[in-house]
Amino acid sequence: METLKKSILIMVLLTFFSAFAYSQNYQRSYKSNEYPQWYMSGMGGISFPIGNFGENYKSGPTFGVELNMKVNKEVGFFGKVGYSIYPNKTSSSAPDGKYLEYTVGPRYSFNAKNLKSSLFLEAGVGGYSFIQDSYSLNGAEVAEYTSTDFGMNAGFGGILNLGTNVDLLFKAKYHNILTDNGSTSFIEPVLGLDVNF
């Protein structure tokens, strides 16, 4: 599993840096001074549970869809729906844990004058729903468990222009969910496509 994680990280970094030089040769078809600008992003990656959450669950895949609105060159807002799967570490008979994320927040971009790509910081708040299906443990039936809690996230990322109205999006975020027993935390690096419409 460690080798797979390292391989994926290396592939993401190679894609990120190799696309940077190539991406700077394209011109967008829309006028860059027309706002608001709307983007739809589809992304996927790996979610790494940390702390107490990491003691019970393994790293797993994460997927998401974002709607982004830029109000000017630097400031924008996003809304995200995400889905993450965490294989159970404590028992082979126990089902996977799953988190459904629905968050919103601001994004601040750092743009160089002569580059079409940018770096950004973002933070979000919203709901996180944890779901675990029912299962049998030592002959006893364990009921399905669901809970929805308030959470927050923060991270950084980059956008590389790939062509007319299409960008490569990379970001890494830390998520912290406030639960009855304290908090649940995980880190998610994701890669996706950002489409202007």
- Using CA atoms in the order 191, 78, 73, 156, what is the torsion angle rounded to 10 degrees? -50
CB 168 within 8 A of CB 191: yes
Output the pLDDT for position 25. Answer: 44
Output the pLDDT for position 103. Answer: 98
Residues of the chain with pLDDT under 50: 20-31
Output the pLDDT for position 140. Answer: 83
State pLDDT tens for residues 5-27. Answer: 555 656 555 555 555 444 444 44
How many domains are there within the chain? 1
Output the pLDDT for position 141. Answer: 86
Please name the amino acid found at residue 68.
N
What CATH number should be reported for the domain holding residue 181?
2.40.160.20
Output the pLDDT for position 27. Answer: 44
CB 71 within 8 A of CB 35: yes
**Residues 39, 166: Cα–Cα separation, whole Å:** 9
- Cα dihedral 133, 88, 49, 156 sign: negative
Output the pLDDT for position 131. Answer: 96
- Work out the burial of residue 122: count CB atoms within 10 Å of its CB; fewer than 13 is exposed, 13-18 middle, 19 or more buried: buried
Output the pLDDT for position 7. Answer: 57
Can you give the residue range of the structural domain that contains 144? 2-196
The vertex-63 CA angle with 55 and 54, nearest 5°, equals 5
